[in-house]
A and B are shown apart, each in its own frame.
Chain A
């Protein structure tokens, strides 16, 4: 079924949850805005709190979206880590981005692999590169790095 941006905005409005105290990111609290696609490449951007990532995934799963990628970004200046979930839709030209921020000291957020099994690999890779722990993930062992790797190479303060 083909969702429209209005349905998405109204569905995401229910996500206006409490604001975690220790995270002071600029695009906080829940900001939902439509984006000019040929400037940014996606149509819909939602910044949610880490706890609501799974509910956002369930909403998008109901609308028939597919998971595209899970990207980790290490904002070392603001002492935070950003996790960006990309979703594409197989039938219509609507790309949704759900982003959240976790404190750099203890980067943890729930896994969405029960909703999207494809996220299992994406999250394992993000854990590999950034050390972001996904709670409830079935198998968070090193994935692209050697089995005994304990370093996280894509962190900005990584020294070989």
Chain B
């Protein structure tokens, strides 16, 4: 016995009304890249309203910032967005160094840039595999993780962890890099371009991918600015906004690298931006390895770190966009307030407006092109 629930609005062209139902693309879903729940009000296959519901992996990072000393919060920073953990530690360490005016030796800055760019390539590899898995292609996942394992071996060699490195310290690094890291990185930089060329021939120029992504999920530059979306999302809409170029930090001004932007504003543009970004990261690593100065890797840091009162912030170009740490200190050795402005939070906030009227497969392809990490949203 079919019970008709709410009264059905007449169909768009006035003939027999088709019923809208609420589909629950819930916390446990392969395309959700974690525990993101999207409440989709659907009319047939077309989405009338897709409202993301988050908070299923909220882990109280900001609350933990207030009851730990500055140094104890470091392990937390690599667990916010575990795919680009180096960037997040870099931002927190940079903010504290800026507040306490700690001098960082140049060698440490160069190693920070090298490890951050390696981490960016590793993060883009996971995105690439996951996005194509969303579109149905399961083999690229295996290729992507092959290359990523090379990076993880390199980073594991110097800081012992595969994913949640806690490698930076206030004023420098926890230990210096050794020779086989340098040789390994040079070998990796030579190994990667032919692989990227293979991915371009096999996947990027594949007609199915082109048809699935071109013109899907248009996000205009104005919408990016209004919602604060940054990173490959805003660069896919034609705006060359990259924190490494616009608000230079660390030693990035020493390198010449290009910011890839594509004006088409669709999912294909965001895809191409990330693929070109990997090549730019390789160029940065190569230049950083050539100009790597000798010298200490740890500056002078007071035994118990007490920051002068006030609020300080430090922004970094993470793999997903602009990550900013705003710390408020009241002079004690524990922070008064730690605010983590994460890129995926703003990138996802435009999803409701951007996915109106799309059909479900396209909406998921667009969500893949936003490159979300859900603990990065929930913090």
On A, residues with C-beta under 8 Å from B are 38-42, 64-69, 71, 73-74, 84, 86, 88-93, 95, 116-118, 120-121, 129, 142-146, 153-154
Given known A67-B228, A73-B337, A90-B234, contact A84–B326 (CB-CB < 8 A): yes
Which residues of the partner chain A approach B230 to less than 8 Å between Cβ atoms?
Answer: 66, 88
Which of these, B60, B98, B324, contacts A86 with CB under 8 Å?
B324
Highest count of chain A CB atoms <10 Å: which of B62, B63, B95, B337: B337
Rounded to whole Å, the gap between the CB of A40 and the closest CB of chain B is 6
Rounded to whole Å, the gap between the CB of B9 and the closest CB of chain A is 21
Q: Does B193 contact A (CB under 8 A)?
A: no
The 5 closest A-B pairs by CB, nearest first: A118-B227, A69-B341, A41-B313, A144-B55, A71-B339
Which of these, B62, B224, B322, contacts A129 with CB under 8 Å?
B62
Rounded to whole Å, the gap between the CB of B167 and the closest CB of chain A is 22
Interface stretch, picked from B73-81, B125-133, B172-180, B345-353, is B345-353
Which residues of the partner chain A approach B353 to less than 8 Å between Cβ atoms?
Answer: 117
Which of these, B55, B62, B313, B350, contacts A145 with CB under 8 Å?
B55
Which residues of the partner chain B approach A146 to less than 8 Å between Cβ atoms?
Answer: 55
Which of these, A65, A71, A91, A120, contacts B337 with CB under 8 Å?
A71
Q: A69-B339, A91-B241, A121-B346 are in contact. List 13 more A-B contacts (CB 8 A).
A: A66-B224, A67-B228, A68-B228, A88-B230, A90-B239, A93-B246, A93-B247, A116-B226, A121-B349, A143-B54, A144-B54, A146-B55, A154-B62
On B, residues with C-beta under 8 Å from A are 54-55, 58, 60, 62-63, 66, 95, 98, 101, 221, 224-230, 234, 239, 241, 246-248, 310-315, 322, 324, 326, 328, 336-337, 339, 341, 345-346, 349-350, 353, 378-379
- Chain B binding surface SS class: mixed
Which residues of the partner chain A approach B95 to less than 8 Å between Cβ atoms?
Answer: 41
Which residues of the partner chain B approach A118 to less than 8 Å between Cβ atoms?
Answer: 226-229, 346, 349-350
Given known A121-B349, A144-B54, contact A90–B241 (CB-CB < 8 A): yes
A117–B227 touching, CB < 8 Å:
yes
CB-defined A-B contacts under 8 Å, sample of 23: A39-B101, A41-B98, A42-B313, A67-B227, A67-B228, A68-B341, A69-B324, A69-B326, A69-B341, A71-B326, A73-B328, A88-B322, A93-B246, A93-B247, A95-B315, A116-B226, A117-B226, A117-B227, A117-B353, A118-B349, A118-B350, A144-B378, A154-B62
State in angstroms the CA–CA spacing of A51 and B151 once bound together.
51
State in angstroms the CA–CA spacing of A84 and B339 once bound together.
10
- For B101, the closest partner residue in chain A by CB is A39
Which residues of the partner chain B approach A145 to less than 8 Å between Cβ atoms?
Answer: 55, 58
State in angstroms the CA–CA spacing of A66 and B224 once bound together.
8
State in angstroms the CA–CA spacing of A40 and B324 once bound together.
13
Which of these, A65, A93, A95, A154, contacts B63 with CB under 8 Å?
A154
State in angstroms the CA–CA spacing of A66 and B222 once bound together.
9
State in angstroms the CA–CA spacing of A117 and B353 once bound together.
10
- For B349, the closest partner residue in chain A by CB is A121
Rounded to whole Å, the gap between the CB of A156 and the closest CB of chain B is 8
Which residues of the partner chain B approach A68 to less than 8 Å between Cβ atoms?
Answer: 228, 322, 324, 341
State in angstroms the CA–CA spacing of A65 and B230 once bound together.
12
State in angstroms the CA–CA spacing of A154 and B65 once bound together.
10
A41–B224 touching, CB < 8 Å:
no
Highest count of chain B CB atoms <10 Å: which of A86, A92, A116: A86
Rounded to whole Å, the gap between the CB of B180 and the closest CB of chain A is 36
Which residues of the partner chain A approach B346 to less than 8 Å between Cβ atoms?
Answer: 118, 121
- For B51, the closest partner residue in chain A by CB is A139
